[in-house]
Amino acid sequence: MYDQEIRNKMKVKKGQDVYLFLNRRGSAISRIMIFNIVKDLALKDDIKKNNSQQTYRHSIATHKVAGDSEIRAQQELLEHESNKTT
């Protein structure tokens, strides 16, 4: 597991200290690395459903709309140019 003590002892690359999650080299982890971590956790929990970044984006948006979130806010969150897409 991730430990704050480990983070505090890490040699963080210049300009990377603003990121919450860092790799072993002290740089921000990539979106691909996040995707791989999530996929590995899903496999460990025996989740067989295919998951992707788009699956999570859709899930978050669906829950927010169901919770009466404004469509304009969703459009900005999902970075859609048109609310028709949202």
Range of the domain at 39: 1-49
Mean pLDDT of the chain: 79
Q: How confident is the model at residue 37 (pLDDT cuts 50, 70, 90)?
A: confident
Task: State whether 44 and 56 are in the same domain.
Answer: no
For the stretch 60-73, pLDDT in tens is 777 777 776 677 77
Residue 3: pLDDT over 70: no
pTM score of the predicted model: 0.53
pLDDT of residue 1: 47
Task: State whether 43 and 58 are in the same domain.
Answer: no
Task: State whether 78 and 37 are in the same domain.
Answer: no
Which residue in 50, 55, 52, 58 sits closest to 85, CA to CA? 58
The residues, any chain, with a CB within 8 Å of residue 24's CB and separated by 6 or more, are none
Task: State whether 62 and 25 are in the same domain.
Answer: no
